Amino acid sequence: MPTTPPAPGTSGPRPPEIPDTTLDELLLSIPYAELRPHDVAVFACHPGMLTIGMAAVHLHSRPAPDTWDERMQRWYPSEHTAGRTTPTGISTRGVLLLAAGAADHLSGGYVSPEHPALTGHTAEPAPEPVPAPPARHS
């Protein structure tokens, strides 16, 4: 079976009949109206740039020259120094609030811990989707 080269962020080749689609893209493609009667909310969620785990290594590592690790090691500390990382507590709180349903009205969208629905600030509920106009017949 022929394969295509691995997509960025994937672990290996895939058969050509499998689309290059992420799970969140696939889930977000399901119309919210189909999921609402079943109380299912779907989100693409970014927990923020954290300074724990693998990311924390880049604050102190000395990778080999001309590698991706070296590029990351130069970039990540500058983001951290500039204040563009997310404290672990804020990220954890955001994910827990998301799981508890605090942002269900945003189902079908992209959220991060900084979203008003997850920071404790009140957010306006999303308006109901506007139905598509009837198709024209010629």
Extents of the domains making up the chain: 42-119
pLDDT tens per residue across span 40-78: 787 888 888 888 888 888 777 788 888 888 888 888 888
Q: Within 10 Å of residue 85's Cβ, how many Cβ atoms?
A: 19
What is residue 1's predicted lDDT score, i.e. its pLDDT? Answer: 44
What is residue 45's predicted lDDT score, i.e. its pLDDT? Answer: 85
| Sites in the chain below the pLDDT cut of 70 | 1-33, 35-36, 120-138
Residue 93 · residue 113 · CB < 8 Å: yes
What is residue 135's predicted lDDT score, i.e. its pLDDT? Answer: 59
Whole-model pTM over 0.85: no
What is residue 57's predicted lDDT score, i.e. its pLDDT? Answer: 80
The tokens describing 24, both together, are 């969140």
DSSP code for 11:
S
What is residue 113's predicted lDDT score, i.e. its pLDDT? Answer: 87
What is residue 27's predicted lDDT score, i.e. its pLDDT? Answer: 64
- Encode 19-54: b = buried (16+ Cβ within 10 Å), e = exposed: eeeeeeeeebeeebeeeeeeeebbbebbbbebbeee
What is residue 8's predicted lDDT score, i.e. its pLDDT? Answer: 47
Closest to 113 in 3D by CA, of 105, 125, 127, 102: 102
